[in-house]
Chains A and B, each alone.
Chain A
Amino acid sequence: MSTAIKETQKMIEEVLDAYPEKAKKDRARHLAANDPTGQCSACQVKSNIKSRPGVMTVRGCAYAGAKGVVWGPVKDQITISHGPVGCGQYSWWSRRNYYNGQTGIDTFGTMHITTDFQEKDIVYGGDKNLDAALRELKELFPLAKSMGILSECPVGLIGDDIEAVSKKAEKEFAMPVVPVRCEGFRGVSQSLGHHIANDTIRDHILGKGQLESSTPYDVALIGDYNIGGDAWASRKMLEELGLRVIAQWTGDASINEMGIAHKAKVNLVHCYRSMNYICRHMEEQYGIPWTEFNFFGPTKIYQSLRKIASHFDDGIKENAEKMIAKYKPVMDAVIEEFKPGLEGKRVMLYVGGLRPRHTIGAYEDLGMEVVASGYEFGHSDDYKRTYPEMKEGAVIMDDATLYELEEFTRRLNPDMVGSGIKEKYSYHKLGVPFRQMHSWDYSGPYHGFDGFPVFARDMDMTVNSPTWGLIRKNK
């Protein structure tokens, strides 16, 4: 075991000392020093396990994964938060899944639609009201293409049969009505919500869309939620590569696109965590291969373009090389502009599905080093993909708590931290430059050739803002 690994392990042990015995034992399994080779067994973190109560996990719930991540962005579906008012309220218009359309007329993405459970619904059940609610929505929003019923905690606990209500409505309305059993108490994090949502896409939507004709270049862009326009920036590149993007899941997605992805020649997967399930299904059911790619930062973009092109003919492969040749000077100019202010800066990341590993290359393109990284809801396959991306002895965190994040920050002293809104302002108080890496801090896109300049600019303004220098510590 190397010195770097040993030192990090020692630091982790010190941090863990503050926990009560049981929690300490559990948390020890989720924190490790990185071994890029994957050989050191003590360096593998456990993941996708229940959070300890009372430790202030950053995680959300299955509803957040199903509604907030997968189904919420589908623009022409009415996505109903079925249950009390809060869940829909707090997840309303917060994830920046951009879409084109007239909100409230033919698209519904930034609306908060809820059955607003009252005590009587708990006592007598909510099915009757749900049935009536669906009818009211059908009348008020005639251009909706589908309805999704996203269950909140009470629905599963009181034994409502939303499947029966959906089935009946689906028949009457002649459009999909999708019951999604994503009650927040199911599973251990957002992750199960992704899986449940994937399954409902499979059961209710996939295979039912219309596509007039096919070409050998048809692909589906999977696991891009179009945050700040990410999917659009990616789509632009795929089109320039000579591919036809027949479906975009689920950022700016329409129900029809959700229904025709099985006609793609290859599924291109950006967020593996949230959408690998449906890709595996399409592989088994329709024989569609899928490939992961990474459009953050030029190094990974060039690799990914070649990787994607390798699934197609020489013409596409040539296009990839042409694109790289065309955009490399642009990317180099961005690096030239921003690298001097960022070189050698150390970054700590704690995010969600793909960013803890996918953004590492983009930081490295700018001369920065990711010294700690972790996932709220990753699984072992995510970590396996992460170890080789990071240096030996870097800190790997699974389901980190507020306490751990603060302690690691004090000890590692990073130059910037990338995490979420709940973490953001404690870092501001600490005087540590911070960027939200779920929502791009209301900026973006960060994907693709159009996204990298924005990423570079944003990291620069984060690290090099003069405001950090104004802080005067209390004596």
Chain B
Amino acid sequence: MKIKDHNELFQEQEYVEQFERKKEFENCPSAEEVQRIGEWTKTEEYRELNFKRQNIKINPAKACQPLGAVFCASGFEGTLPFVQGAQGCVAYFRSHLSRHFKEPMTAVSTSMTEDAAVFGGLNNMLEGLENAYTLYHPKMLAVCTTCMAEVIGDDLNAYIRTAREKGAIPQELPVPFAHTPSFVGSNITGYDNMMKGILTAVTAGRKGEPNGKINIIPGFDTYTGNYRELKRLLDIMEVRHTILADVSDIYDSPNSGEYKLYPGGTLLADAADSINATATIALQKYSTAKTLDYISKEWSQTVSALPPVGIKNTDSFFEEIGKITGKPVPQEIEDERGRAVDAMIDSHPYVHGKRFALVGDPDLLLGLISFLMEIGGSPVHIVCTNGDKKFREDAEAILSESPFGQEGKVYIHKDMWHLRSLMFTEPVDFLIGNSYAKLLWRDTGTPLIRIGFPLFDRHHLHRYPIIGYHGALNLVCLIVNTVLDEMDRKTMNTTSFDVIR
């Protein structure tokens, strides 16, 4: 039986007519007026007006602190993210992460309401900790806050102490916390704060003999494939390591017919021992700044932030590993490098000179800028809603190193509506961004290459690494095949419609 769903149904004549009839009641502007305004929004004049705005964000590419915090917390063994504040926030974090990963996400809220706004959230915290502990048996409860708890000034440290004193939770249960006001920073800030909070709590009193391991902090990295790739590479190199926080098995768990609340994560014992590691390497800089500062000062470890996106960045990552461990890059990985470079050489004619617009989190953008220039692409518009001046300097420094970066301009605190103006007034060939960037694809006709977070409208992309040499290969695939798809679409009725590219 042929079933028509929304994809076909509403194109049918009777619906088209229905939509026309409905206009009688809509008091909508005429088609000409809509057309006129639509054209106006593509102009320089509109761009100027658009860039003048100071007080409103339109289609921003960032999320709020506690989202990053619960994401970070979920990457530790048996850990239940616990959010002090209003309950709607947690419902949103869970939906948002589930839509991206297509995986369950667990977190609890203390369901604060009007009375908590008046009297504070202590009672919510006490009952919440007891209920969550009794019902979900976590090994750790990692507490962060919504803006409600922050505005009323809930004192997490004191509340958790009270909860222990009153026996709501066992004395020995680790309950790290982080204040994560959503009106400061973004998801990457929340990740950083929670990571610092967790490491502070679990390593307290654990300074001991050096364990010879390296700590790796991936940052707000939503590619589960990246975590698996990282572990594979370090295992090949026989580098003993601890990934803080390892979300790969949480957001990419095998289907074995059972639902596990805590399907993996960094072992708490390993997290506790991370204070005794030789060094800590972060794979993102902006989502780990406070944590690295803490590790450097409090643990006296050497710290570095090296995003291994692209060939040269990955080279630097391995150089750093070599410097710390004395281990050279093994032939197996050297071969992977060779294969990735080979692929980039094979595909370069289709990317060379192509101009790109990019939007996303700061760390991802730095990596992508670098990679694009390695294959001869030109990053032109770089929009980072949650980027700061330091990010702009970093990005500009990278751009200035290559002739392919000369056109690149970095926009911080701007959003995708700004990018729309940029793309209409200074068109580019391709766009790199998250699923929401498809609005820009629709409006400007610029093909979208989906890299970033969230990715809601394509499946499984996050399972494929974009870090390391394999990651570079995947990036080449994503980019060049989008270029070629587009070329086919454009040439399908011309003589240029080739079978060999």
Contacts and interface: CB of A to CB of B under 8 A. Distances in A.
A and B from one complex: yes
Contacts of B345: none
A23 B131 contact: yes
Nearest to A336: B1
Contacts of B116: 185
B88 A55 contact: no
A4 interface: no
Contacts of B128: 53-54
Contacts, number: 344
B487 interface: no
Interface-centre pick from A56, A58, A87, A424 (highest chain B CB count, 10 A):
A56
Contact size range, A: 35 or more
A429 B260 contact: yes
Interface stretch (A39-47, A97-105, A266-274, A307-315): A97-105
Interface string B25-55: 1111100011001100100001001101111
Interface in B135-154: 135-136, 146-148, 151-152
Report the interface size class on chain B: 35 or more
Interface string B1-22: 1011110011000110011011
Contacts of A424: 98, 104
B59 interface: yes
A325 interface: no
Contact of A429 (B82, B181, B258): B258
B93 interface: yes
B132 interface: yes
A185 B110 contact: no
B86 A444 contact: no
Nearest to B141: A54
Contacts of A100: 19, 22
B117 interface: yes
Contacts of B417: 104, 140
A164 interface: no
B79 interface: no
Contacts of A318: none
Contact of B148 (A115, A116, A184): A184
B112 interface: yes
Interface string B115-134: 01100000011011111111
B77 to A, nearest CB: 18
Interface stretch (B182-190, B333-341, B491-499): B182-190
A426 interface: yes
Interface string A147-186: 0000011101110000000000000000000000000111
B108 to A, nearest CB: 5
B130 A140 contact: no
Contact of A54 (B67, B129, B147): B129
B127 A153 contact: no
Contact of A64 (B49, B91, B436): B91
Interface string B236-255: 00000000000000000101
B27 A143 contact: no
Contacts of A445: 5-6, 9
Contacts of A411: none
B148 A154 contact: yes
A62 interface: yes
A84 interface: yes
B111 A471 contact: no
Contacts of A61: 86-89, 91
A90 interface: yes
A84 B64 contact: yes
A211 B259 CA distance: 55
Given A119-B184, A153-B146, A60 B91 contact: yes
A286 interface: no
Contacts of A248: 22
Interface string B350-372: 00000000000000000000000
Most buried by A among B59, B91, B186: B91
A20 B1 contact: no
A454 B133 CA distance: 42
Contacts of B253: 429
B56 interface: yes
Contact of B152 (A56, A92, A133, A157): A157
Given A54-B110, A61-B88, A426-B104, 10 more contacts: A85-B62, A104-B417, A105-B34, A152-B147, A232-B18, A239-B18, A425-B101, A425-B104, A430-B259, A474-B258
10 contacts: A23-B130, A112-B57, A113-B59, A211-B25, A245-B25, A402-B106, A421-B99, A426-B259, A429-B260, A450-B4
